[in-house]
Amino acid sequence: MKRAKGENDSNSVDRISELPKDILQRILYFLSQEYAVRTSVLSKSWRYVWRTRPNLDFSDNSFKGNNKKEFLSVVDKNLQLYRDQNLCLEEFHLSISVTYSDRKSVPFLEKWIPLLTAMGVKKFRLSIQYEYYKSAVRVELPRVVFGEESLQDLHAERFVLEQEAIERIALSKHLKKLRLEEVYVKDDTLQTIIIIYPTSLETLEISRSNIPFQKGADFRNLKDLSLCLVESSLDNLSTCEFPSLKRLNLRYCDGLKESHISIDAPNMVCFGYAGCFIPSISFTTTSNEWNTYICLDSNDASSNWFVKLKALLESLSHSNICLAIDDNNPTPFDEEHIIHEILDDDGCGEPIAVECLQLNAGLSCFSTLLNGLFRICRPASIGDIVFKSWEMKVAEFAWNSLMRRESRDRHQFRHELWLRDLERASLEIKEIGREEWRSITLSDLPNYRPREHYRTHFALKWRQS
Amino acid sequence: MAAETGTPTTLTLKSNDDELFSVAESAAILSVTIRNMVEDGCAGGVIPLDNVDGKTLASVITYMNGISAIPADEEKKKSYRDKFLSDKDFETLADMVLAANYLNMSCLMDAVSAKIAQVMEKKSVGWVRRKFGIENDYTPEEEAAVKEEHKWTFEGVETDDDN
């Protein structure tokens, strides 16, 4: 490629003010509201340029003015300005928190929101939070928030909703992202709440809410679904269609208890589960390469814990499984009980291949847990869940358990059948941020300090059965 | 497209100072302006770009080649753009944004605009004037009046640094 001749060398000529209006408008688009407005002070030619930017973006959190009243008035004036002067407004972003004492914000919302579609706004993003800590009284989310056609992104936190409000959500035909936290629907009428989510939804995050799923809902564009601390039944998930779903995250949802869920999601990339109990969940997916992350608090180690875990791993066995078990159970597993439980069931069935196993367990129940787990799964590596790097005495204990080639006695052998299948175990370490693992011996381990800078695991090679 | 119309897969672009550049058609059609010419069958000979000088065009072509070599991965493309623009001074950025506008390359236009905005963000009015050579033609009274009108944006302090 030819080199160009040097010209237009840098000088102090004011080039930015000379740029065409549509370019200046684009530059202003990327500024925060406050710095876009401030350009009016630069020079006379800049006085009104900021108004040509097609977006308004207000957040009371970063608002530099004096108080909420001033914030509301600034937003109001700007919206009025754009409307009165017929200025082009394509995007409107508002982030606002409401306290019990300043419910004045609500009438403002009721005034502003209906204006937006009429003004030609295409992307309306709203984040609205109730500042709970200042008052124990729950506040109702204004109905007008739902149903605005231009609404593209809605995040609402700590509100109570009327049924009719949430039912209006179907009117927001362009809604792509919906995040509801601690939003409760008043269900005092005891009628079934019917929510029809718009099919435009791409991301749905619900936490600490009692918002149910409609039977047979059509989530044709949904890519991310995340549910956290949802108490209401999730049975209807089995009847919904998720043709685009890539990531599903379920955390501490009591709504999953006592039921089996089957997710129809052909394009899964990642499934995450965290909870105190083992869910019964399966996927209909044609995806070949997908990952699952299961994180279990085993403090609720009920009977059949291992049998349920085996069933879960079996139903996820087409994915690359990473299993983390945080055993903070004060009463450790009873080994005899486990063995019987697994033997009584189909404990002799094929163990499931697992990518990695991470454990946090006291030494007193470490080997019991390991014996139980190795009966149902064959991890390619085993690491520590908390520090991602073994503490010396746990590492030593694991080393001794894994490196032992022979069982000590017959009784032990019955518990440690897996030893026959373990071809090789090696302790490996890597620096955080590096890719490659290298093999070390146990006595090398204390030389790698500080511990937080390293990851250690045991790589396990199993005999093919 | 090349096979159907017999268009060569390499295009020759000419800057307004008569520099000639060869560029793969697949990279050049990132510019909607050039793509339209190709589609209309006007790209057979030399394509004159009357609003872009050689120095800027060389830079734009580097960008075209770089970004089109990256597969459909928005994050990688973004980090390429960030790196590509990281060492450019404002003069160069101004030339690039004008070229991107003329060539109708929205991804480059947005990246450069965002970069310029990033320079202006969180800076005092005085700093922005000095940086971009903007002459303040307000009288002190007029300036005070404009500031008063948007008082809320002048609360607090800003930290000017040259980054």
For residue A30, the chain B residues in CB contact (below 8 A) are 110, 113-114, 116-118
> CA of B4 to nearest chain A CA: how many angstroms apart?
28
| Most A CBs within 10 Å, among B153, B158, B160, to test the A interface | B153
Task: Give the pLDDT confidence score for residue A385 in this predicted structure.
Answer: 62
Task: Give the pLDDT confidence score for residue A308 in this predicted structure.
Answer: 87
Q: Does residue A131 lie within any of the structural domains?
A: yes
Please give the structure tokens belonging to residue A155.
Answer: 């995040």
Task: Give the pLDDT confidence score for residue A349 in this predicted structure.
Answer: 73
In this structure, the answer to whether residues B95 and B137 fall within a common structural domain is: no
At B120, phi and psi to the nearest 5? -80, -25
Task: Give the pLDDT confidence score for residue A10 in this predicted structure.
Answer: 39
For residue B132, the chain A residues in CB contact (below 8 A) are 14-17
Q: Residues A149-181: pLDDT tens digits? A: 889 999 988 888 888 888 888 888 899 999 999
Of B62, B101, B135, the CB nearest to A23: B101
Total domain count for chain A? 1
How are beta strands A320-327 and A356-361 bridged, if at all?
Answer: parallel
CA–CA dist A142, A132 (Å, integer): 16
CA–CA dist A140, A138 (Å, integer): 7
Residue ranges in chain A whose pLDDT is less than 70: 1-12, 102-104, 132-137, 187-193, 299-303, 328-348, 385-391, 404-416, 465
For residue B90, the chain A residues in CB contact (below 8 A) are 10, 15-16
Q: Does residue B161 lie within any of the structural domains?
A: no
Contact: B150, A41; criterion CB under 8 Å: yes
At A347, phi and psi to the nearest 5? -55, -15
Of B15, B94, B123, the CB nearest to A15: B94
For residue B135, the chain A residues in CB contact (below 8 A) are 14, 43
In this structure, the answer to whether residues B147 and B83 fall within a common structural domain is: no
Locate the chain B residue with the closest alpha carbon to A4. Answer: B55
CA–CA dist A24, A13 (Å, integer): 17
CA–CA dist A119, B53 (Å, integer): 40
Contact: B19, A4; criterion CB under 8 Å: yes
| CA count, 13 A, side-chain hemisphere, B67 | 25
| Most B CBs within 10 Å, among A9, A13, A26, A49, to test the B interface | A26
A87-113 burial code (b ≥16 CB/10 A, e <16): bebbbbbbbbbbbeeeeebbebbeebb
B2 pLDDT band (50/70/90 cuts)? very low
Q: What is the ipTM of this complex?
A: 0.89
Which amino acid type is present at position B142?
Answer: E
Q: Does residue B39 lie within any of the structural domains?
A: yes
Q: Does residue A250 lie within any of the structural domains?
A: no
Helix/strand/coil (H/E/C) assignment for every residue in A256-309: HCCCEEEEECCCCCEEEEEECCCCEEEEECCCCCCEEEEEEEHHHCCCCHHHHH
Give me the total of CB pairs closer than 8 Å, taking one residue from chain A and one from chain B: 142
**Contact predicate A98/A131, CB 8 Å:** yes
In this structure, the answer to whether residues B47 and B109 fall within a common structural domain is: yes
Question: What is this structure's pTM?
Answer: 0.80
Question: Is a pLDDT exceeding 80 seen at residue B44?
Answer: no
Helix/strand/coil (H/E/C) assignment for every residue in A426-451: EEEEEECCCCCCEECCHHHHHHCCCH
CA–CA dist B31, B45 (Å, integer): 17
In this structure, the answer to whether residues B74 and B148 fall within a common structural domain is: no
Residues 6+ apart with CB under 8 A from A382: A356, A357, A358, A359, A398, A402, A457, A458, A460
The Cβ of residue B99 has, within 10 Å, a number of other Cβ atoms equal to: 24
Contact: A43, B137; criterion CB under 8 Å: yes
Q: Which helix (H) or strand (E) holds A249?
A: strand A247-251
**Contact predicate A456/A428, CB 8 Å:** yes
Domain residues for the domain of A174 are: 54-208
Task: Give the pLDDT confidence score for residue A333 in this predicted structure.
Answer: 62
Task: Give the pLDDT confidence score for residue A300 in this predicted structure.
Answer: 57
CATH number at residue A69: 3.80.10
For residue A34, the chain B residues in CB contact (below 8 A) are 152-153
Contact: B132, A14; criterion CB under 8 Å: yes
Mean pLDDT of B85-113: 93
For residue A15, the chain B residues in CB contact (below 8 A) are 90-91, 94, 132-133
Q: Chain-centre distance of CA A233, in angstroms?
A: 20
In this structure, the answer to whether residues B17 and B34 fall within a common structural domain is: yes
Contact: B20, A2; criterion CB under 8 Å: yes
CA distances, A80 to each of A73, A104, A128, B89, B144 (Å): 10, 18, 21, 38, 24
Domain residues for the domain of B8 are: 2-120
Q: Residues B101-159: pLDDT tens digits? A: 999 999 999 999 999 999 999 999 999 999 899 999 999 999 999 999 988 888 765 55
Task: Using only the alpha carbons of chain A, give its radius of gyration.
Answer: 29
Contact: B97, A63; criterion CB under 8 Å: no
Residues 6+ apart with CB under 8 A from A179: A154, A155, A156, A203, A204, A205, A206
Q: Residues B45-71: pLDDT tens digits? A: 788 999 999 999 999 999 999 999 988
Total domain count for chain B? 2
Contact: B136, A43; criterion CB under 8 Å: yes
Task: Give the pLDDT confidence score for residue A329 in this predicted structure.
Answer: 63
Q: Does residue A446 lie within any of the structural domains?
A: no
Task: Give the pLDDT confidence score for residue A49 in this predicted structure.
Answer: 93
Of A2, A27, A38, the CB nearest to B150: A38
CATH number at residue B36: 3.30.710.10
Nearest residue to A427 via CA among A397, A454, A394, A460: A460
In this structure, the answer to whether residues B64 and B141 fall within a common structural domain is: no
Task: Give the pLDDT confidence score for residue A103 in this predicted structure.
Answer: 66
CA–CA dist A453, B64 (Å, integer): 40
In this structure, the answer to whether residues B113 and B147 fall within a common structural domain is: no
Contact: A16, B116; criterion CB under 8 Å: yes
Q: Does residue B30 lie within any of the structural domains?
A: yes
Within A61-184, residue ranges assigned H as helices are 68-84, 105-119, 163-167
Contact: A23, B98; criterion CB under 8 Å: yes
> CA of A52 to nearest chain B CA: how many angstroms apart?
15
Query: What's the N-to-C CA distance of chain B in angstroms?
Result: 44
Task: Give the pLDDT confidence score for residue B159 in this predicted structure.
Answer: 57
Q: Does residue A438 lie within any of the structural domains?
A: no
Contact: B150, A32; criterion CB under 8 Å: no
| Most A CBs within 10 Å, among B14, B120, B160, to test the A interface | B120
